[in-house]
Structure 1
Amino acid sequence: GVFSVFATVAVIVVVGVTRMANGQGPDGQAITYSLLNSSDLGAAFGTLMTSFGLTAMIPTVMNNMDKPDKIGTSLYGAFAIIFSVYICLTVAGYGGFGNSIAQYGDIVSAISGTAATLNDQGYAIIICILVLCASHFLALFCPVATDCEKLIPAKAPKITVYIIRTALVGVCAIFATVIPGVTDMIALLGSVCGMPNVMLLPLLFYWKACLIDVTGFKGIYQGRIIKFFGELLILLLSLFTFFFGLYGSIRSIILK
């Protein structure tokens, strides 16, 4: 992940400098510029100060301090490094693309989407971002898989642990790939977990704890026909809302 970040920065700088030197993009169009006004400069500085790098800088530096009395020097150095990288990317990106950079959502799309056919630089930036995203993905979901390993017997072979962890991360990868956004994930989880937790599971647990464990399976309906039919109605209603909500969530994802 760290190396992919360095590689991504290097590719962006190389692409920007190359386009600046050529004075035009791969499509042959000239690069146009406009002077930044005070509001643009203020917005750019605000973006820098609230960026992920600076937001996480202070706690990250403090957490890795060997000499607490050098905290000031360490923070100055960290700020200088992040500021230098930010300026290099800004100058290279704007210098290489000019005003056309506003047409793209990010610099990666600008580099890989400026021509009908990807060139070496386009392939390089895509590979770097894929490696970077993969490392972030593993950092996010491996703790989930590791925590689930607590359910595996201690005497289980190592290969079993590896297979289960791989399968769990694979399931997470499928969800991350198929579900396009956070709101869709919330809707899907709500349809899968919401209704069963509200109606279905409480009813089943009630049957098991209060009826089946006391008088057997016949205790569900014997001597309580009216209550039993009411509980069946709740069961059918919860199943209907569960499948209807699940269908609606999946359909909205597919239509996107």
Structure 2
Amino acid sequence: MDLGLKGLKAAVSGGSRGIGRSIAGLLAQEGCDISICARGQENIDAAVSAFEGNGVRAMGRAVQGRDGDAVRGWMRDTVDELGGLDILVASLSAGGGTNDERYWYRNFEIDLMSATRAVEEAYPALKKSQNASILIVATMAASETFVAPMAYNAIKAALVTWSKQLAEAYAPKGIRVNCLSPGPTMFPGSNWEMIKVARSRTYNSALRQQPTRRMGEADEIARAAVFLASPAASWCVGSHLLVDGGFTKGVQF
């Protein structure tokens, strides 16, 4: 199936490793010019070099997700350097943590506010696109209780609700908005890699709840994300797609 991505311009926040990197890489493989932002410049440079290997333009900026001016600046630079924008994938995340107050501030500023700031800055360019699409990356932990009370789960739930509200507001303007929630996913440097070593009981408990008895892989999440963000998913507006290998037990009516 032709996803209709060749020649489009895409931006992925948190695109230097893990799920974000896989999404950005697949977009580049499909012919999109690509821009990413993340924390470490070394990982960004490696990712950009890999993207350019697909014959597309690629750029990256090192930003701190809490720095609103830096996130907005990356978005403006993206539009300027790529000559517009068609797709924005908001996947920047502080990751999990505990219920301590500092994690609430961290997840609010990085997971939630980086997404809202990027969307606001991208909006003028997206309005000019014939294939405008926004994809918000949340988590299956926003859809049901998971492990323990923590800021990460609740803040991601806010993103799910916000994405639906945004979809209703932006659809008349020609901008599709959807949300994707990955289940437990293993990749180098992931939280689950650390949990497997430091909190093996938590890891094994999660694995037992997984019908396939394995963690997801970043590429498996990316394939669903890229489809949802692409013109091939033109009738998906306000969708919330769980990509978790059956981990979530609730029935999605």
TM-score by length of 2: 0.23
Higher helix share: 1
TM-score by length of 1: 0.22
Q: Bigger radius of gyration, 1 or 2?
A: 1
Higher strand share: 2
